[in-house]
Amino acid sequence: MATTVVTQPAGKEAYNTDELIEKYGFDDHFHEHHHGDKFQSNFITKYIFSQDHKMIAKQFLITGMFWALIGAGMSIIFRLQLGFPEESLAWLKPLLGKWIEVNPDTGVGTLSQDFYYALVTMHGTIIVFFVLTAGLSGTFSNLLIPLQVGARDMASPFMNMLSYWFFFLASVVMFLSLFVSTGPFAGGWTAYPPLSALPQASDGSGVGMDLWLVSLVFFVVSVALGGINYVTTVLNLRTKGMSLWRMPLTVWAFFITAIIALLSFPVLVSGFFLLMFDRMLGTSFYLNEIYIGGQALDHVGGSPILYQHLFWFLGHPEVYIIILPAMGLVSEVLSVHTRKPIFGYKAMVYSMLAIAFLSFIVWAHHMFMAGVNPFISNFFVVFTLIIAVPSAVKVFNWIATIYKGNVRYNSASLFAIGFVSLFISGGLTGIFLGNSTIDIPMHDTYFVVAHFHIVMGVAAFFGMFAGIYNWFPKMYGRFMNETLGKIHFWGTLIGAYAIFWPMHYLGIAGVPRRYYRFDNFDAFSYFPEMNQFITIAAIVVFFLQVLFVINFFYSIWYGEKVTERNPWKANTIEWTTPIHAGHGNWPGKLPTVQRWAYDYSKNGVDYVPQVVPLGEGEEDMGRH
């Protein structure tokens, strides 16, 4: 039987990882070429045009937080409209200007209907692409891939820098579109033609849509440059001993995410090219016979469904691009803070691979109502429902990891547990919507809104928060405030359910999404109190996120200092770097990896970092 000779040394710095790296590490002569940090001594190359993956991660995170506040703020404005359609919004006039129409006689301000659509469209675009794609996978892939696989930096630090700056450019263009006189694009975040293809279709379809397209093309370039780096770094720059089966689940998740992104985003670009031709050169890829003001346009024979196919070929994988990194972060955080190996490590990897594969053959479940052949729908229903299998495997494994664990209830682990709760709640409604027969009455109602907000909106945010609270000490050498973190967690968890749980009832009652107000419709006018409740909950949750942002920035400068390298007693090798690691991550040799990442509570030892060699006769959990 396996007997361990590895025992955990007593004392503050439980393992002397420096000694282990010196003894077993790999000397790549890094420091004969790079004395200190001299390339980054000036402000611009260190903080702005940085090529250090850790700084780029922070840039992605902070830009993402900026967008999250804007995107969430927009939702508060349209929730005010939905919850309190009779109330005057004149007090928003200084912020929104002409989009608030104030009645000169009564002084009552109403939100412009066009701008309501613009807000909904921008809320979706910003949160899906800028926050939950760039802000989540951009941040943590950059931070954790090189640190956890034992690399000095990404395969191409220069391309990595470009990846951020293309995202920045996309951000600037999208931000500018908020200020053009005709307003930003207002045809929904999916940008279906004809609203997106005909500049004269609506106010936002002109300049607003042009800027939207330009911004998203820059964004895809950013995703591609980042993704190429992530895949190459994982496959090519792992340190000695870091076999694929010894990689932490975070790295697996980022790796699979990057592959999905690289295969799906280019198809969106091809769809955009066709759209640009229709908009700017007058072709008819997407546009059929259309009459505007009684006049027939020149367009003949195009198919708006073609755009939907191309869009959702990205669009569905996109939701896994959002959720897989969150799943990876949650798996790692749960294992560390329950002091248990992740349950079913290989099952976790295989289920992520299965989800990634299935994500490419289910896109038309977004189009059940678009007139696709019902026999083809059957195919998509079956594969959509099969996704429940790997998802359930993952949920089972997370719960089994927590079960009988020695759980540390801190902000990071609470958010990870909250993620599991939300993923179950939101995932179950996915089984309803994945059936084309049930989707027919449910589509375009608040049931759909509730489903995707819980399962990929709030859940992905929870994964992101778990990651931020857990790796903040690695990023800034300080802790975030725990009390504020717990208030943030409990408020957000209860608040998120308070917002989205009632929406299921609205949806089952048939209340359609995207409507400006409901009191003109007899069928949907029964729920004013419920809409008020949702709006109040949304406002509370919004201010809790402001609290989080305050906690984040306060802690960067004034948080409790990290005094030991490995504050969570985690096994992964990012915690063997100095508290403030320079460019190149390890000051001396590169660590070599001796075991998998999840030797927690093994043979009575609390944790065994990956740099500790296997004891004699000790079982290697990460063998192939």
Partner 1 sequence: MNVTALPEQYESPRRNKIHPLKFALWVGCASLAMMFGGFTSAYVVRQAAGNWLEFQMPSIFLVSTATIILSSITLQLSYYHFRRQNTKPYRMLLVATFVLGVLFLALQYMGWLELTARGVELRRNPAGDFVYLISGVHAAHVLGGLAVLAVALIHAFRLKKFTPRRKLRLELTLTYWHFVDLLWVYLVVFYWLQNR
For CA atoms 519, 126, 254, 566, give the dihedral sign.
negative
The region that residue 176 occupies, defined by phi over 0 for left and psi between -120 and 50 for alpha, beta otherwise, is: alpha
CB nearer partner 1, residue 149 or residue 458: 149
DSSP H or E stretch at residue 120? helix 113-125
Shortest distance in whole angstroms from residue 236 CB to partner 1: 4
Choice between 152 and 394, CB closer to partner 1: 152
What is the smallest separation between the CB atom of 41 and partner 1, expressed in angstroms? Answer: 11
Closest CA to 261 of 298, 315, 213, 211: 315
Query: What's the min distance (Å) between Cβ of 82 and partner 1?
Result: 37
Q: Which is nearer to partner 1, 49 or 543 (CB)?
A: 49
Residue 322 CB, shortest distance to partner 1, in Å, is: 19
* Binding region for partner 1 (CB under 8 A): 26, 28-30, 33-34, 39-40, 45, 51, 150, 152-159, 224, 227-229, 231-233, 235-240, 262-271, 273-274, 277, 281-285, 298, 300-303, 306, 309-310, 313, 583-584, 590, 592
Least distance (Å) between residue 438 CB and partner 1: 27
Element (H, E) at 292: strand 291-292
Reduced to 3 states (helix: H, G, I; strand: E, B; else coil), residue 344 is coil
Classify 327 as helix, strand or coil. helix
Q: How far is the CB of 282 from partner 1 (least distance, A)?
A: 5
* Rounded CA separation 107/99 (Å): 15
Shortest CA distance to 16 belongs to which of 616, 612, 618? 612
- Structure tokens of 556? 């960067």
Instruction: State in angstroms the smallest separation of the CB of 363 from partner 1.
Output: 12
What is the closest distance, in whole angstroms, from the C-beta atom of residue 289 to partner 1 in the complex?
11
Are 248 and 263 in contact, with CB atoms under 8 Å apart?
Answer: no
Question: At its nearest, how many Å lie between partner 1 and the CB of residue 20?
Answer: 16
Q: How far is it, in rounded angstroms, from Cα 467 to Cα 455?
A: 17
Q: Residue 297 or residue 385: which is nearer to partner 1 going by CB?
A: 297
Query: In whole angstroms, how close is the CB of 303 to partner 1 at the nearest point?
Result: 6
* Residue-wise burial string across 84-94, b where 16 or more C-beta atoms lie within 10 A, e elsewhere: ebeebbbeeee
Q: How far is the CB of 573 from partner 1 (least distance, A)?
A: 13
Which residues contact residue 522 at a Cβ distance below 8 angstroms, ignoring those fewer than 6 apart? none
Residue nearer to partner 1 on the CB measure, 272 or 489: 272
In the complex with partner 1, the residue whose CB is nearer, 370 or 407, is 370
Say which residue the tokens 């949160």 belong to. Answer: 127
d(C-alpha 189, C-alpha 120), whole Å: 8
Nearer to partner 1, 159 or 400 (CB): 159
Q: Which is nearer to partner 1, 196 or 592 (CB)?
A: 592
| Closest CB to partner 1 among residues 146, 473 | 146
| Closer to partner 1 by Cβ: residue 196 or 391 | 196
Q: At what angle do helices 249-276 and 139-149 cross, to 10 degrees?
A: 140
DSSP assignment of 373-433 equals: -HHHHHHHHHHHHHTHHHHHHHHHHHHHHHTT-----SHHHHHHHHHHHHHHHHHHHHHHH
Tokens for 486, please give them.
């717990």
Contacts of 621 (CB under 8 A, 6+ apart): 341, 345, 595, 596, 598, 599, 602
Closer by beta carbon to partner 1, 12 or else 29 = 29
